[in-house]
Amino acid sequence: MHFFFREDYPLKVGEAVALSEADLNHAFRVLRLCPGDQVMLADGRGRVFQAKVIKADQREILIQPEVEVPHFESPLKVVICPSLLKGEKMDLVIRQAVELGVHRVAPINTERSIPQRDKTKEEKRLARWRNIVRSSAAQCQRAYLPPVDPVRSLTELLSAAALNRIIVPWEEDQSLSLADLGHQEPFNYAQALFLVIGPEGGFSREEIERLKAGGAVIVNLGPRILRSDTAAAAAVTLVQAAWGDFSRGVG
């Protein structure tokens, strides 16, 4: 069943709402929605409705929520913090992270980030990343639409993550694997989990020391060196399996 967000509108059973401009052309010309078609509609904040198309033309598609349905969001609030990567790699990290259930995307600029932070391009990049989040969340039918924060420095990130759990996969650490950490320790669900992913060149030792001083736990993801996009997906999968909803089923 086709799935849409109307995150800027208070959805109510029986009250028709127009699809957003972002979805209108695709819904009418590609999906060819017609009156009577059944769809799913979410508010992006945790509510999902089974709904019916009551009007469909090239100017407007009206959807009427009929019944609220259960949603499946992880109890683990994962904030994925990927270092900036080139174009499609960064897009892939964000797309997969959303599919795997992260709660927020918080990009960071690090010493070896490629490309380096460019404030003149930041709004355009943020808009693209937010569109990726929206389409990925719709594809996997999430009730919640993860926000994407502006790019932060490492110092800004540590300030934002204060009083929360910070985990940093680092290829040079062999003392503790993320999988073992998940087996050893329970999680305080009053906290968010900031999962900080390094750039292709890895974190510098100075950055690792700063992260440790900020309360981060340094872990490894296993015996092989992973690309940053692979490391991000592997790390989110491991924490969701340990403390999230991957081991709980969907019921």
Taking the C-alpha atoms of residue 169 and residue 171, their distance in angstroms, rounded to an integer, is 7
CATH number at residue 124: 3.40.1280.10
Q: Is 175 in the same domain as 106? A: yes
Q: What's the rounded mean pLDDT across residues 24-34?
A: 89
- pLDDT of 58: 87
Taking the C-alpha atoms of residue 129 and residue 89, their distance in angstroms, rounded to an integer, is 12
- pLDDT of 250: 42
pLDDT, tens digit (0-9, with 9 covering 90-100), for 182-213: 988 899 999 999 999 999 999 999 999 999 99
What percent of the chain shows pLDDT beyond 70?
A: 98
Q: Scanning the structure block, which residue is given the tokens 């994962």?
A: 78
- pLDDT of 249: 46
Q: Is 58 in the same domain as 136? A: no
Q: Judge whether 70 and 82 are in contact, CB under 8 Å.
A: no
- pLDDT of 9: 85
Q: What's the rounded mean pLDDT across residues 33-51?
A: 95
Q: Is 64 in the same domain as 85? A: no
Q: Is 62 in the same domain as 93? A: no
Three-state SS for 64?
strand
Instruction: Name the residue range of residue 172's domain.
Output: 78-243
Q: What is the total count of domains within the chain?
A: 2
Q: Is 7 in the same domain as 34? A: yes
Q: Is 197 contained in some domain?
A: yes
Residue where one domain finishes, among candidates 24, 43, 69: 69
Three-state SS for 43?
coil
Taking the C-alpha atoms of residue 106 and residue 4, their distance in angstroms, rounded to an integer, is 24
**pTM score of the predicted model:** 0.91
pLDDT, tens digit (0-9, with 9 covering 90-100), for 72-121: 899 999 999 999 998 799 999 999 999 999 999 999 999 999 876 677 78
Residue 50: pLDDT band with limits 50, 70, 90: very high
Taking the C-alpha atoms of residue 147 and residue 120, their distance in angstroms, rounded to an integer, is 21
